[in-house]
Amino acid sequence: MAVKPKVTNGSTTLGPAANEKDAEKLRFIEEMTMNTDAVQERVLAEILSRNAETEYLKRYKLDGATDRETFKAKLPVVTYEDLQPDIQRIANGDRSPILSSHPISEFLTSSGTSAGERKLMPTIREELDRRQLLYSLLTPVMNLYVPGLDKGKGLYFLFIKSESKTPSGLPARPVLTSYYKSEHFKSRPHDPFNVYTSPNEAILCTDSFQSMYAQMLCGLLQRLDVLRVGAVFASGLLRAIRFLQLNWEQLAADISSGTLTKQITDPAIREAVTQQLRPDPELARFITKECSKGDWACIITRIWPNTKYLDVIVTGAMAQYIPTLEYYSGGLPMACTMYASSECYFGLNLRPMCSPSEVSYTIMPMMGYFEFIPLDADGTMCNGAQTQLVDLAHVEVGKEYELVITTYSGLNRYRVGDILRVTGFHNCAPQFQFIRRKNVLLSIESDKTDEAELQKAVTNASELIKSYNATVVEYTSHASTKSIPGHYVIYWELLIKKDKTKNGKSGTIPTELLDKCCLEMEESLNTVYRQSRVADCSIGPLEIRVVRPGTFEELMDYAISRGASINQYKVPRCVNFPPILELLDSRVVSTHFSPGLPKWTPTRSN
């Protein structure tokens, strides 16, 4: 039987709600988290009964069963690669109920890739409502901790990306692009707690320069109204600060004259921004004074002095940006509010003002059906783990798991690739710390490069130096975020044979050729990396640092001196430990940067 939350005067165990609308949402969170297992059972039954006639469930002979035991006994745990043939059929126009009984409305393109291309996730229209429901819970939770958010605005840097069409004509685009373009977002009713400084027209422009310029300009014009500053991920907010550093003179000129630069050509943006823009020499002087100092410490609070917190995800791969954000914001709290993916929106942080190291997300049981593969202390799968998945309500505090989801859109027992650790429970709902994404070696923003992709890139690039009798004998990598945008640094140790090659070249590799190797590596990396380089300019040129011969042996000596076993030692393909980076950097003999942009188009190659 469902447990009803105890409510007195609009107060739940989460705290006293700011208003009656919030109270209703908090009660909903309470109800869901008190009845986690029952809600999960209902969600699974709903998904299985509505999809009973799908080809996928019939293939595994579920025969209309909707109970957990049959589901677990008959359906395999799968990865994207297992589903790819079915997904490809849908993309090619097969409208029969393959994965979902509901029509597929579009494909969401994940930042996770398969064979170098974004994964395509079929989705159904009603999922937008489910995502909207999760969004609607964020403000009531935030209002518990930060009063007065209805007295000002949010400066959020939000962007859409270009979209393509599958052969069947369905849109293929990232989940946030889909959301911002939906009526759910565009025609959202006015909510005093959720007023943005950015006009929709600026958010909805695919040209990243024009979109950012307009959003920054509007944020500057309304600077005293701004109570929170945010972006989806930390890397996005840092890009915005970098944009201000590079463009403040033009922004100040526009504000001073009350006219918009000709660089903004999008008519909808021009119209929306021009409505706000009036000559304001005093504001222009203020911006010039703050930005011309060359001192960017606390720039966020200097320009937007009423900011109470940053609303930005700094968990997972984004944790690398915490010190830089602290520097720019003078240590403002960083609220990580939500945990979500293209496949499914998972949950929210019920204590959003906690420190980044303590962030835990409560997976909301109505969003999908969640199972967990138990992992050993060293992060590998426990014996028999694949067959003994744990249900959401039964995970154990302190243990790590890999997340497996079953969604209303038709993914069944799908491995997302995220590793989570249970930190506690809110009522009966477990709370998870995001530990890492499986198999990700390098990441600057949404890009995810794995070991095999890096290996392929090194192999392809090293072809270019073959004619100099040179080979890459060892390599490792590092995602450098010392400057914004961050970039990949690849350390190469070369072996150059002294004897002349067939075509008579001697052993010195021209520096331009090594520069070209950087570009060749970029050409070999996946589409998300190349899109970030080309369309979003959110990753800087790849760098190769050639280290002197013997460096990787020194690296091994160092690891062994710290207790690594000689027999088991493997060259780490990515390094983050400062003493190792120092060792590598002290042995660099030459550095090279990609001289151009890799090829990228919004159209998919498959």
Q: Single out the residue of 235, 236, 261, 237 nearest to residue 248, CA to CA.
A: 261
Of the two residues 123 and 476, which places its CB atom closer to ligand AMP in the complex? 123
Of the two residues 446 and 476, which places its CB atom closer to ligand AMP in the complex? 446
The letter for the amino acid at 409 is: S
Q: Single out the residue of 488, 414, 415, 482 nearest to residue 447, CA to CA.
A: 488
167 touches 188 (CB < 8 A)? no
Task: For the CB of residue 327, give the shortest distance to ligand AMP in the complex, in Å.
Answer: 21
Task: For the CB of residue 342, give the shortest distance to ligand AMP in the complex, in Å.
Answer: 4
Residues 6+ positions from 535 with CB-CB distance below 8 Å: 161, 162, 208, 600, 602
Task: For the CB of residue 462, give the shortest distance to ligand AMP in the complex, in Å.
Answer: 30
Of the two residues 112 and 485, which places its CB atom closer to ligand AMP in the complex? 112
Of the two residues 446 and 477, which places its CB atom closer to ligand AMP in the complex? 446
Task: For the CB of residue 417, give the shortest distance to ligand AMP in the complex, in Å.
Answer: 6
Of the two residues 45 and 319, which places its CB atom closer to ligand AMP in the complex? 319
Task: For the CB of residue 434, give the shortest distance to ligand AMP in the complex, in Å.
Answer: 4
Nearest 5°: phi and psi at 417?
Answer: 105, 5
Size of the chain in residues: 606
Please tell me the distance from the alpha carbon of residue 411 to that of residue 83, in angstroms, as a whole number.
9
Of the two residues 5 and 316, which places its CB atom closer to ligand AMP in the complex? 316
Please tell me the distance from the alpha carbon of residue 410 to that of residue 54, in angstroms, as a whole number.
9
The pair of structure tokens assigned to 156 is 């959020």
Q: How far is CA 560 from CA 263, 312, 473, 569, 572, in A?
A: 56, 39, 20, 8, 13
Of the two residues 442 and 461, which places its CB atom closer to ligand AMP in the complex? 442
Secondary structure class of 283 (helix, strand, coil) = helix
Of the two residues 21 and 437, which places its CB atom closer to ligand AMP in the complex? 437
Of the two residues 341 and 449, which places its CB atom closer to ligand AMP in the complex? 341
Of the two residues 5 and 236, which places its CB atom closer to ligand AMP in the complex? 236
597 touches 533 (CB < 8 A)? yes
The pair of structure tokens assigned to 131 is 């995502």
Under DSSP, the state recorded for 525 is S
Task: For the CB of residue 361, give the shortest distance to ligand AMP in the complex, in Å.
Answer: 6
Of the two residues 155 and 313, which places its CB atom closer to ligand AMP in the complex? 313
* Burial of 319: CB neighbours in 10 Å, binned 0-12, 13-18, 19+: middle
Under DSSP, the state recorded for 5 is P
The letter for the amino acid at 80 is: Y
Task: For the CB of residue 4, give the shortest distance to ligand AMP in the complex, in Å.
Answer: 30
* Burial of 6: CB neighbours in 10 Å, binned 0-12, 13-18, 19+: exposed
Task: For the CB of residue 230, give the shortest distance to ligand AMP in the complex, in Å.
Answer: 13
Parallel/antiparallel/unpaired status of strands 414-426 and 369-374: unpaired
Secondary structure class of 565 (helix, strand, coil) = coil
Task: For the CB of residue 405, give the shortest distance to ligand AMP in the complex, in Å.
Answer: 10
Task: For the CB of residue 175, give the shortest distance to ligand AMP in the complex, in Å.
Answer: 5
Task: For the CB of residue 430, give the shortest distance to ligand AMP in the complex, in Å.
Answer: 16
Please tell me the distance from the alpha carbon of residue 339 to that of residue 426, in angstroms, as a whole number.
16
Residues 6+ positions from 496 with CB-CB distance below 8 Å: 468, 469, 470, 507, 508, 509
Secondary structure class of 226 (helix, strand, coil) = strand
Contact positions toward ligand AMP, by CB under 6 A? 110-112, 175, 313, 315-316, 336, 339-342, 416, 418, 434, 437, 446
